[in-house]
Amino acid sequence: MTTHALDTSARLSVAPMMDWTDRHCRYLHRLLSREVLLYTEMVTSPALVRGGALHLLDFSEAEHPVAVQLGGSDPKELAQAAKLCEAHGYDEVNLNVGCPSDRVQSGTFGAVLMKTPAVVADCVKAMQDAVSVEVTVKCRIGVDDQAPDEVLPDFLNHMQKVGVRRATIHARKAWLQGLSPKENRDIPPLDYPLVHQMKRDFSDMHLSINGGIATLEEAQAHLEAGMDGVMIGRAAYHNPADILCQADRRIYGTGQDSDPVAVVAQMLPYIEAHLSGGGKLHQVTRHMLGLFAGRPGARGWRRYLSENATKPDADTKTVEAALMSVTQAAA
């Protein structure tokens, strides 16, 4: 995709989330919205380059626009990984400078890299030299005892100097000691004003805000206040219809609202293909549990799929039976 097209797509994006935003999740999200920018789970450069785990890069052509997120801290290895991602057809390569997990820190990448912006700049430069697709960064406002109002502008300055044009900022610090990854998503306070200030200070960069944003109304408020984009994580996963069904019309001014019941029907051929290839139903339907959250029949839909999708004979008929909870409740 062109840079301009990706800038437009990035007005709203679904965050990269480990164990959640796999290819089945992204296919579902793409049916709900034609426009939003989708991200893979983080894929580590060692897994691709040393481990040869190229299956981690598999995706459906229907998912475009889609970006891959890489984790790593070795410029040469990240450059090789970025090449593999470009060859697979991704529209963007994103470097993770925000994940606080222990597993990530031990590999010296993720949020710990906020401490060494020069290393990140070297990584980004190596990736840019290796590929023609855009290289972007997702970061935190700082880690541990760093002062975000000092560290974040310095970090963005390093990025801008090597030609990074688009970045996503998670508006929380990451505490690398004492907090779990889950706690790091909730406990450190959000600092939206600082991220908005960064947009004013780095007006030439395309900056998206991330962290704690749970509704389209909140996303629109950030855009109206001057942010270029908004990235939504857990809310888009647990309540996908609330975030994505109206996104094309309200955020992009295009298209019609999608209908979750119709989207279930659209998922059936995809599920058939997955099952015929040896896949299991629950690998797809686990991402569909929240599709009717807050709507009549949602509990029956969720319960039926939870109880039956893992059975050996589970197939598309299982999904159709679960949908009866919703259609009957709406009748």
Please report the pLDDT score of residue 254 as a whole number: 95
From 85, 99, 123, 139, active-site residue? 99
pLDDT at position 39:
98
The token duo for 21 is 């935003």
- Provide the pLDDT for residue 102: 59
pLDDT at 1: 80
- What are the mean pLDDT values of the chain's consecutive 10-residue runs (331 residues total)? 89 96 98 98 95 95 98 96 98 94 64 94 98 98 95 98 98 87 83 98 98 97 98 97 97 95 98 97 98 96 98 97 92 74
Please, are residues 173 and 112 in contact by the beta-carbon 8 Å criterion? no
- Spatial separation of the C-alpha atoms in residues 205 and 156, rounded to whole Å: 9
Name residue 168's amino acid.
T
In this structure, are residues 239 and 233 in contact, taking their beta carbons and an 8 Å threshold?
no
**What DSSP element (H or E) covers 66?**
strand 66-71
Catalytic: 99? yes
d(Cα 69, Cα 29) in Å, to the nearest integer? 17
Q: What is the pLDDT of residue 208?
A: 98
CA distances from 52 to 76, 81, 323 (A): 16, 10, 40
Q: What would the two tokens of residue 260 be? A: 């979750």
Distance CA 212, CA 190 (A): 8
Res 60: pLDDT: 95
**65 preceded by cis ω (within 30°)?**
yes
- What is the sign of the dihedral through the CA atoms of 131, 136, 138 and 140? positive
Rounded Cα gap, residues 159 and 175, in angstroms: 22
* Cα–Cα distance for residue pair 166/206, rounded to 1 Å: 5
